[in-house]
Amino acid sequence: MDLHNLGDLTIYSQSIVNQDGTTYFLAHSGGELAKRLGIIGDSAGFDGSVHNPSGALLCPLSAQNCTLLRERLPWLNPSPLGLKTSAGFGDRLGLATPGHVLALQAALQGASDPADVAPIFAQQSVRENARTGRPPRQVLDDAVWGVFESGWRGDWGADADHLKTFGDADEFAAAGFTFFTVDPGDHVDNEAHAASLAVLKDKLAVLPWKDLEDSREELYARYLGQTFEVETISLSFDEEHLLRAACKYSSAIRHAVHMYRHLVDSMGDRPFELEVSVDETATPTSPLEHYFIASELRRLGVRWVSLAPRYVGRFEKGVDYIGDLDEFEEAIAQHAAIARKFGPYKLSIHSGSDKFTIYPIIAQYTKGLVHLKTAGTSYLEALRAIADVDPVLFRQIFAFSKGRYEMDRASYHVSGDLSKVPAADDLTDEQLGTVLDQFDARQVLHVTFGSVLDWFGDQFKVGLAQNETAHYEALEKHFIKHIAPLLV
């Protein structure tokens, strides 16, 4: 049967799969925008209706049909990725995966060994779930359908991002996620960063020693006055630096250990990977503190594939790195050496989108042991596509976002200034997309995504569906710039 000649069906050619005598494909019918799973052959268990005249069963992209398709086509299931260079593609709309695949395929053409690079196509945090109204299962299913549409056959992962509670971890685990980012940032004692030695001693006395399976005397014996050689770096703890690290991070370490042990119990024999993130804290994680965190996690039996320190400089949403590049280079070299010593494990770069000036530095010092995490930049590129194809809608979204910015920015690290945002009325339709290249406007649009989706979500998604090629091309162009520098 010629799948390119099925009457009113438009077939996504990359999706066509022949497996065990049955053909599967993705299509949409006539003027409809809703995509359908097509099956010719054994369609037992799938919910759908027969298409005339082809005889194919056309099925809605439901959770039930997604589950059955994943059972038949194993590569549609996420899996652990190990130490491969990896990138997380947050997708707040559930429409971006095919564009991410295009970017990854283009970038991999220049990789020395494409098999050593892997994507995480399903990635969303609990905070983002709440703002988009998409539960973990929907996030995963949207990624599966995107993987199917684009014909991706390589390994890929699913990241339950910034988990803070057992309940949140359980919901993502039940949905089928394979990568769990534990965020113990609420348990970091930021006051310890600058506290006096006397205050630190008081804090040390009340640390959760039992949960840490430790004591003050044992802590001192492990670290105090010792020098640790890490490649070409020498690290040593005097009492002040030891107490500062212990008081700042011990409760966070305890929380990470509890989350890890819970995941071990709840996942059973299902393989999974852990990332530990302390990036959303008030002060940078020094190399000495990184050494302490890694050493203590290992002592307590935690196994992790990546760790996200709080790096020097500012990693604000949707914009380039803000800080001294020489200082960052010195710090990343030490962090990477520590990651190789205690793992090896990957350094994870959170709020990593659009940090173009530091990608070459990261690539140089991590030697491929890196995980780049992006999220809102895909939403911004979707807005860029809308600016090109529906200027009226973009103007409405832009004005609305400016009105919501001061409220919605509260939970984000951003410094965009509304007074510096260009006025849409001063721009022609052809110039509208340029606001996405302006620092302040980009952050205004970035952090207001939840409010925009509440008010304009249906119209926004219809516009993208009607202009899929423009949407995917915008994503491809943008993400090549993220991925290619890490593969050098």
Task: Please give the positions annotated as active site.
Answer: 161, 275
Is 318:353 a contact under the CB 8 Å cutoff? yes
Helices (H), 191-349: 197-205, 216-223, 239-267, 287-299, 325-342
> What are the respective helix, strand and coil percentages of the chain, to the nearest 5?
50, 15, 30
Burial class (CB in 10 A: 0-12, 13-18, 19+), 395: middle
**Host H or E run for residue 86:** strand 85-89
Tokens 């770096």 appear where? Answer: 233
Backbone φ and ψ of 178, nearest 5°? -120, -10
Question: How far apart are alpha carbons 191 and 248 in whole angstroms?
Answer: 7
Is 76:475 a contact under the CB 8 Å cutoff? no
Backbone φ and ψ of 483, nearest 5°? -85, -45
- Nearest in space to 266 (alpha carbons), one of 186, 176, 156: 176
What does the block give as tokens for 299?
A: 């002592």
Strand partners, 236: 227
* Residue 484 DSSP SS3: helix
Question: How far apart are alpha carbons 86 and 308 in whole angstroms?
Answer: 14
